[in-house]
Amino acid sequence: MFLRKRGRRVLLLHSYRDGQGRVCQARLGHFLEVDEARRCLYEPAWREDFAGRFPGVKVDWARVTRQVGAIPENSPGPARPRPLKVRLDEALRTFLHLWARVEDADLAHQVADVLRDRLRLAERDDSDLEARQWRARARLEPRRTDFHDGAADEYIQTLESRAGELKTQGRLQEACQVLEEIAQSQPTFERRADYAAALQVLGRTEEAIAEYERISRKSAVRFYNLASIYCRDGRMDKALGNVMSAMLRDRHPAKALECQRAGRPPAHGLEYWDRFGHLWDPVGRWFVLGIYSQLLVRSRLNKAAEKRQIPRELVTGKARRLLLQRVLHWDPPKLRQMTARRKRSKTASHSEP
């Protein structure tokens, strides 16, 4: 991390490689004054909070504090900002100067379409979510790459409302694009899961699998949703492995299915089915229920819970192949009939003289 002074502000910047040999810069935040930068950067509590918000950024605090100490103080008195009208006039003159140099007709039509679209949005009021989304993004810095500070909260909330509106209207392709923007802006596992689920609904399963696999392995949602894809594709061995991995992290969704089948209201796990239940067909739900109903699976889950450890695989080798066969031929009504016949035969044998 390093510092750079822009006007009265001090920017926090971080350099990284994009995987293709190019060096990029990400803006992690800024201070309004040099005094504020020195006060925060010398304070251990602020450094600890910064490390929690950006765990992947390694900071040489000694070098950073030397750098902030070498930054000259701002001139006394607040800088007088230029009026907005003056700035707009300058920007408009620059745009018209560049527009006069455009010789490509396709490029001219493309820019004109963008201008018409932006003017159309500018004329709408804030009740229109598309216009509100455009205004919220326009208020942010054009080259912003970090959306985790409070200034971007309005923009992210507007995007989420916009995605919900598009889903309600059945415009899934556009909703998927908005969810992609949310996942790229704030890549939490919940937002990645929502975007991957939208890809899955649109039939873009390979992209959905790649997006699910970017979610942390600590998340049960990653494995449950992957299992829903593999169940629909008939890849039941992969579905089995993902369901068992999901249950190791959270068995409540599977238990909720069992409670529903028995006619009991589930205490936990129903929130998963409310959010992602549309990804599962009846066969997939039956498959999850069949796995959770196996005594071997439950005993292994209980042992893992007692040890408070997550094993790499719940069931392996020959036991896994036998488990898959049992689940694929699992039929609770038939099992209940067999159990009832056995009980009747035992009762009859005891009643004979």
pTM of the model: 0.61
- Inter-CA distances, 344 with 100, 101, 349, Å: 94, 93, 9
Q: What was the pLDDT predicted at 17? A: 78
Q: What was the pLDDT predicted at 51? A: 84
Q: What was the pLDDT predicted at 256? A: 93
Which residue is listed with tokens 């889903």?
167
Taking only the tens of pLDDT, the chain with its 353 residues reads 788 888 888 888 888 777 777 787 888 888 888 888 888 888 888 888 888 878 888 888 888 888 888 888 765 555 566 787 888 888 888 888 887 888 888 888 888 888 887 777 677 766 676 666 656 666 666 556 566 666 667 777 888 888 888 888 888 998 999 899 888 887 888 889 999 999 999 999 999 999 999 999 999 999 999 999 999 998 999 999 999 999 999 999 999 998 988 888 888 889 999 999 999 999 899 999 999 999 999 999 999 888 888 888 888 889 999 999 888 887 766 545 555 565 566 565 555 55
The pair of structure tokens assigned to 124 is: 């709408």
The pair of structure tokens assigned to 130 is: 């598309």
Contact 239, 290 (CB under 8 A): no
The pair of structure tokens assigned to 248 is: 């190791």
Pairing of strands 2-6, 23-31: unpaired
Q: What was the pLDDT predicted at 55? A: 81
Report the side by side order of strands in the sheet with 2-6.
2-6, 9-17, 23-31
Q: What was the pLDDT predicted at 215? A: 92
For the chain, the 3-state helix, strand and coil shares in percent, each to the nearest 5, are 65, 5, 30
In a 13 Å sphere around the CA of 126, the CA atoms on its Cβ side amount to: 5
Q: What was the pLDDT predicted at 103? A: 86
Residue extents of the structural domains in the chain: 2-69, 125-216, 218-353
The pair of structure tokens assigned to 8 is: 């009265």
- Give the CATH number of domain 125-216; options: 1.10.150, 1.20.272, 1.25.40, 1.20.950: 1.25.40
- For every residue of 221-234, DSSP letters joined together read HHHHHHHHHHHHHT
